[in-house]
Structure formats: structure tokens, C-alpha cells
């Protein structure tokens, strides 16, 4: 119990202290006009109050990610608390802040465009493909789940439910941000917070067991290794590359730069709190990790959420669980579709030198991403989610390296980004070699190969540091030789 309470307090303290450090290093400046005003178009660029932006950002980046991921991560035991707290403060919130603020500084640019500017065109091409693929996977995964539940509780078939959900996604991805997202998503974000807080209080009064205190022991029933699986299982709530694709949506609505800490850094800390609550609930409600695993096997993560909600909050909990499993993923799906449309627009505009900002062009750009998304909804949900996990963390790692190079070029303290980038490089490299959805190699061999990739990336960044130092020295004014001799 003390570990859980301390974790919540540390997250809040991290926002109040480290969040200000990150903001100061970045150099937020309210004298700069934001894209919400300089490029105001009534569609994507539109000024919005920071509290609305914060709730929409929370809903966009969260959905059911911090709930389902936390439940699955709870199988490892209280060691998950450490990853959530440390990851959210020093990696995830930093990642989200720079993803949003760098987009804001670059006129609301999408994530791949920013990557291209600081890591080169080859990196931009690769991350464009990976990011759009991630958006399609997320939209498909967060559409199939709600449609399946709608089919279970209504006369609609699964296919009819998919069509219904897709109709909404299509419309929401095209309408101006202040028509649907700006009006009702703050309410949905508030519901997400209320749901988590209610479960949090319920743990103190309804659960038979108390929340376990910290132990470094791996409690996973199948003995799966903590490294690197925990860092991918719990992505939303600690660090998630999906957030870097969502932050530019809100970056185009920010009124002044100092609101960025509240919106981007703050929303990530809020998601960390939600993740802590659901991880603690998963560890506690079913008695032990074995009981939780049996519950997951019987009804999946959605079944676990439903059982905890109904048992803790009664009828209200059941309503919230159904609302959460249907509405929250749909809101993430539509912003994923919106982001992919924006990325495709920037990519085509840059490669063809044509203007894809008109309403007709936006309509056409939704189609190429909507079709594969619809087809993928016919595939098993668990299969989709596994691939969402590792592509998600690859995108996060690239964003952190992009931010590190940005700070390096600005001659600022790049370590706030390069250290978590180094850590996540080791995580993703090892995971891709070891995981079943990767190459499925032996664990020891995966550690060695992942370590080799890690060394190569470190050598690349050290080279960048030396290049920047040499360039700064070359550009510095040289003393006059005659004046020196005199």
C-alpha cells in the first residue's frame, strides 16, 4: 500500500519539478506566436483552452492503453510500479513534451517531418512507413474490440458494428477539430479520470487484500523475463511512441508555449497515475499473479476490467466498464486515423510539391489508410496488439533521439533526451530479437545482438556530438592574428 501511495506522490512531484526543468531547457517562450494563430484554418489549426487541450491529449494518448497494458504488466508484480514511475517522469513525459513542442516550433509539423529535419531523409522515409503502419494497427485494434462488444450487447452483427464504428471514425477524421473532438472529448477524458480515481478509492475499501509493497522479484506465472518485455507490455503509462503522432494534433491548438508543460508533460503524468491504479488493481483483486493470469485467460483484459469495475463500483462500474471498452478505444482510433491523414498529406505535399490541404484532398487521403484499417479489423485482436507494442516503442525511441539531436544543435542539455533514448534503444533492439512477433530468438542471443545494436547507435550519437562541436568551433568568430601578436 505504501509503495502505491508513494508512487502516486512521486509522479505528481515529478510533474512539479522535473517538468519545469524540461520546460526551462527547451526554452518555452510566450512571445512567440503559435501555429494556432499563424496558420489558423478552422480545421486542424484552431486556438483552444489549455484545459480542453489537456483532456483531449489525455484521451488521445490513453484510451484503453494504460488500462489493458497495466493489467497485463501487473503479472510481473510490484516491480511494474518502478517502470511506470521512472518511465513516465524521465522518458514518457519528456518524449511527449518534445513531440508536442517541436511540432509547435515547426508550424504544427507531423512527427515524420520533424524526424527528417534532424535525423535525415532516410530516417524520415523509414519512420513515415512505420508511423503510418502504427496508426493503421492502432485504429484497427481499437476498432475491432469495441465492435466485438457492441455485437455482444446489441442485435448488430460484428460486421455491422465495424461499419458503424468506421462511419464515425471517417467523419471525425475529416471534421474540424473544434466540431467533435473539441466539444465532447474533454468530457470523455474526464470520464477516463473518474473511472480510474473511483477504482483507486475502491481498492482501499472493497478489495479483500491490500496493495502489495515493492519487491524486485519477478512474479510472472510463466517466468517471462522483466527485461525487455515489461517495458513493451506497459508502454502507455510509461512511454509510448503513439503519443508522438498524437501530440501534433494538440500542438496546432496551443495558445502559448508555456501551456505545453500542462498539456503534454502533464497529460503523460496523468496517464501514469491511471496506469498505476489499474496495475495495483490487477495485482490485488485476484489475490496473486496466478489468479490474474487465469482471469485474463478466461475473459481477456476487457473481462478483467469489467469484473474489477462491477465488483468495486456495482452497477455504476458495469456502465463505466462498457462505456470505457466501447467509447475510449474509438476515440483513440479516430485520432489515429486523423494523424495518418495528416502524415500522408505532409508526405505527398513534400514529394509532389502539390497542395493537399483542401477539404477534397483530405477526403481522398483518409481512404488509403481507412481501407487497410478496415481489413485488419478482421484479424485476431491479440495478434494486432502484439505488433502495436513493438512498433510503438520503436517510434518512441526515434522520437527521443530526434529530440536529443534537436537539443544538441541548440547547444542545450541533450542528456534529458539522450539518456532515455539510450535506454529505449536497448529495450527495442533486444525485444525485436527475442519476442515471438519479432525474430523469436534465444534470450541470451537476443541480449547479445540487442547489445551490439545498442553499441552501434551510441557510436552514431557520439559521432554527432563531435560533429556539432567541430561545427560550433568552425562557426565561432576567430581572433585577428595581428591583434593577437600585438
Stretch 436-458: mean pLDDT: 93
Lowest mean pLDDT of 75-79, 109-113, 459-463, name the range: 109-113
Statement: residue 143 has pLDDT above 70: yes
- pLDDT tens-digit map of 67-104: 888 888 999 999 999 999 999 999 999 999 999 999 99
Side-chain-facing half-sphere of 307: CA atoms under 13 Å: 19
User: Residue 171 falls within a domain, yes or no?
Assistant: yes
Q: Are 234 and 86 in contact (CB under 8 A)?
A: no
User: Residue 9 falls within a domain, yes or no?
Assistant: yes
Residue of 232, 328, 219 lying closest to 274 (CA atoms):
328
Report the 10 Å Cβ neighbour count for 141.
27
Local confidence band at 465 (pLDDT 50, 70, 90 cut-offs): very high
Statement: residue 24 has pLDDT above 80: yes
User: Residue 441 falls within a domain, yes or no?
Assistant: no
pLDDT of residue 147: 75
Q: Which of the pair, 80 or 437, is modelled with greater confidence?
A: 80
pLDDT of residue 427: 96
Residue of 346, 229, 261 lying closest to 28 (CA atoms):
261
Stretch 429-438: mean pLDDT: 90
How many distinct structural domains can be found in the chain? 1
Structural domain boundaries enclosing 68 = 2-400
Lowest mean pLDDT of 104-108, 235-239, 408-412, name the range: 235-239
Q: Which of 146-150, 247-251, 329-333, 451-455 has the highest mean pLDDT?
A: 451-455
pLDDT of residue 301: 73
Read off φ and ψ for residue 116, nearest 5 degrees.
Answer: -60, -35
Q: Which of the pair, 265 or 65, is modelled with greater confidence?
A: 265
User: Residue 160 falls within a domain, yes or no?
Assistant: yes
User: Residue 465 falls within a domain, yes or no?
Assistant: no
pLDDT of residue 485: 46
Residue of 388, 387, 389, 381 lying closest to 146 (CA atoms):
381
Lowest mean pLDDT of 9-23, 41-55, 200-214, 291-305, name the range: 200-214
User: Residue 346 falls within a domain, yes or no?
Assistant: yes
Name the one residue in this structure whose C-alpha cell is 517466468: 223
Q: How far is the CA of 347 from the CAs of 38, 106, 127, 149, 416, in angstroms?
A: 22, 15, 11, 36, 29
Q: Are 24 and 233 in contact (CB under 8 A)?
A: no
Report the 10 Å Cβ neighbour count for 348.
16
- pLDDT tens-digit map of 236-264: 889 999 899 889 889 999 999 999 999 99
Residue of 249, 81, 251, 93 lying closest to 180 (CA atoms):
249
pTM assigned to the model: 0.86
Lowest mean pLDDT of 226-240, 281-295, 348-362, 440-454, name the range: 348-362
Q: Cβ neighbours of residue 203 under 8 Å, at least 6 residues apart?
A: 211, 277, 280, 281, 284, 312
Q: How far is the CA of 263 from the CAs of 130, 334, 445, 461, in angstroms?
A: 26, 20, 41, 30
CATH number where 322 lies: 1.20.1740.10
DSSP state of 405: H
User: What whole-number distance in Å separates Cα of residue 187 and Cα of residue 361?
Assistant: 31
User: Residue 434 falls within a domain, yes or no?
Assistant: no
Q: Are 238 and 91 in contact (CB under 8 A)?
A: yes
Tell me the pLDDT of the chain averaged across its residues. Answer: 84
User: Residue 439 falls within a domain, yes or no?
Assistant: no
Statement: residue 364 has pLDDT above 70: no
Local confidence band at 184 (pLDDT 50, 70, 90 cut-offs): confident
Statement: residue 268 has pLDDT above 90: yes
pLDDT of residue 332: 75
Give the rounded percent of residues in the chain with a pLDDT score beyond 90.
38
If DSSP states are collapsed to H, E and C, what string results for 470-486? HHHHHHCCCCCHHHHHC
Lowest mean pLDDT of 148-157, 182-191, 278-287, 364-373, name the range: 364-373
Q: Which of the pair, 269 or 438, is modelled with greater confidence?
A: 269
Q: What is the DSSP string of 380-445?
A: -HHHHHHHHHHHHHHHHHHHHHHHHHHHHHTTS-THHHHHHHHHHHHHHHHHHHHSTTTT---HHH
Q: Are 326 and 212 in contact (CB under 8 A)?
A: no
Read off φ and ψ for residue 425, nearest 5 degrees.
Answer: -60, -45
Local confidence band at 380 (pLDDT 50, 70, 90 cut-offs): low
Q: Which of 72-81, 292-301, 372-381, 419-428 has the highest mean pLDDT?
A: 419-428
Residue of 401, 396, 379, 306 lying closest to 61 (CA atoms):
396
User: What whole-number distance in Å separates Cα of residue 454 and Cα of residue 459?
Assistant: 9
pLDDT of residue 163: 82
Exposed / middle / buried, residue 334 (Cβ in 10 Å: 0-12, 13-18, 19+): buried
Stretch 325-337: mean pLDDT: 74
Q: Cβ neighbours of residue 19 under 8 Å, at least 6 residues apart?
A: 93, 97, 261, 265, 266, 269
Q: How many helices (H) and strands (E) does the chain have?
A: 20, 0
Dihedral angle sign, alpha carbons of residues 452, 118, 254, 334: negative
What is the total residue count of the chain? 486
Side-chain-facing half-sphere of 466: CA atoms under 13 Å: 6
Q: How many Å from the N-terminal Cα to the C-terminal Cα in the chain?
A: 73
Three-state DSSP class for residue 176: coil
If DSSP states are collapsed to H, E and C, what string results for 296-309? HHHHHHHHHHHHHH
Lowest mean pLDDT of 84-98, 209-223, 360-374, 396-410, name the range: 360-374
Give the rounded percent of residues in the chain with a pLDDT score beyond 70.
86
Read off φ and ψ for residue 360, nearest 5 degrees.
Answer: -65, -40
Statement: residue 347 has pLDDT above 90: no
DSSP state of 40: -
The dihedral over CA atoms of 64, 196, 15, 4, expressed in degrees to the nearest 10, equals -110
Amino acid at each position: 500500500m505504501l509503495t502505491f501511495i508513494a508512487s502516486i506522490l512521486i509522479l505528481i512531484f515529478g510533474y512539479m519539478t522535473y517538468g519545469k526543468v524540461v520546460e526551462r531547457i527547451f526554452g518555452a517562450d510566450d512571445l512567440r506566436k503559435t501555429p494556432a494563430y499563424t496558420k489558423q484554418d478552422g480545421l486542424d489549426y484552431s486556438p483552444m483552452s489549455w484545459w480542453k487541450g489537456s483532456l483531449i491529449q489525455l484521451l488521445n494518448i490513453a484510451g484503453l492503453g494504460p488500462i489493458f497494458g497495466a493489467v497485463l504488466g501487473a503479472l510481473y508484480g510490484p516491480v511494474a510500479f518502478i517502470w511506470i514511475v521512472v518511465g513516465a517522469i524521465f522518458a514518457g513525459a519528456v518524449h511527449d513534451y518534445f513531440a508536442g513542442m517541436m511540432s509547435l516550433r515547426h508550424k504544427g509539423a507531423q512527427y515524420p517531418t520533424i524526424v527528417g529535419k534532424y535525423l535525415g531523409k532516410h530516417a524520415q522515409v523509414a519512420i513515415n512507413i512505420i508511423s503510418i503502419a502504427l496508426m493503421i494497427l492502432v485504429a484497427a485494434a481499437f476498432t475491432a474490440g469495441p465492435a466485438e462488444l457492441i455485437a455482444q450487447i446489441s442485435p448488430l452483427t460484428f460486421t455491422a458494428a465495424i461499419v458503424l464504428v468506421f462511419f464515425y471514425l471517417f467523419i471525425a477524421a475529416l471534421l474540424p477539430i473544434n466540431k467533435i473532438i473539441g466539444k465532447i472529448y474533454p468530457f470523455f477524458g474526464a470520464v477516463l479520470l473518474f473511472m480510474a480515481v473511483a477504482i483507486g478509492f475502491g481498492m482501499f475499501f472493497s478489495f479483500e487484500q491490500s496493495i502489495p509493497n515493492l519487491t524486485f522479484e519477478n512474479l510472472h506465472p510463466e517466468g517471462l523475463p522483466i527485461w525487455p518485455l515489461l517495458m513493451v507490455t506497459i508502454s502507455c503509462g510509461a512511454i509510448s511512441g503513439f503519443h508522438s503522432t498524437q501530440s501534433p494534433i494538440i500542438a496546432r491548438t496551443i495558445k502559448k508555449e508555456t501551456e505545453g508543460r500542462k498539456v503534454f508533460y502533464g497529460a503523460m503524468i496523468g496517464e501514469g497515475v491511471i496506469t498505476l491504479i489499474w496495475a495495483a488493481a490487477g495485482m490485488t483483486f485476484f489475490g496473486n499473479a496466478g489468479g490474474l493470469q487465469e482471469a485474463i485467460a478466461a475473459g481477456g483484459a476487457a473481462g478483467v476490467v469489467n469484473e474489477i469495475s462491477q465488483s468495486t463500483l456495482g452497477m455504476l462500474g458495469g456502465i463505466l466498464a462498457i462505456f470505457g471498452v466501447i467509447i475510449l478505444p474509438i476515440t483513440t482510433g479516430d485520432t489515429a486515423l486523423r494523424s495518418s491523414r495528416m502524415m500522408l498529406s505532409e508526405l505527398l505535399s513534400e514529394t509532389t510539391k502539390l497542395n493537399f490541404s483542401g477539404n477534397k484532398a483530405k477526403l481522398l487521403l483518409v481512404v488509403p489508410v481507412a481501407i487497410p484499417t478496415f481489413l485488419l479489423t478482421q484479424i485476431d485482436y491479440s495478434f494486432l496488439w502484439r505488433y502495436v507494442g513493438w512498433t510503438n516503442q520503436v517510434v518512441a525511441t526515434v522520437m527521443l533521439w530526434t529530440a536529443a539531436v534537436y537539443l544538441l544543435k541548440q547547444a542545450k542539455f541533450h542528456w534529458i533526451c539522450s539518456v532515455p533514448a539510450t535506454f529505449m534503444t536497448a529495450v527495442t533492439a533486444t525485444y525485436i530479437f527475442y519476442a515471438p512477433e519479432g525474430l523469436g530468438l534465444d534470450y541470451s542471443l537476443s541480449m547479445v545482438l540487442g547489445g551490439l545494436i545498442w553499441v552501434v547507435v551510441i557510436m552514431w550519437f557520439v559521432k554527432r556530438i563531435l560533429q556539432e562541436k567541430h561545427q560550433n568551433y568552425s562557426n565561432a568568430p576567430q581572433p585577428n592574428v595581428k591583434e593577437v601578436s600585438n
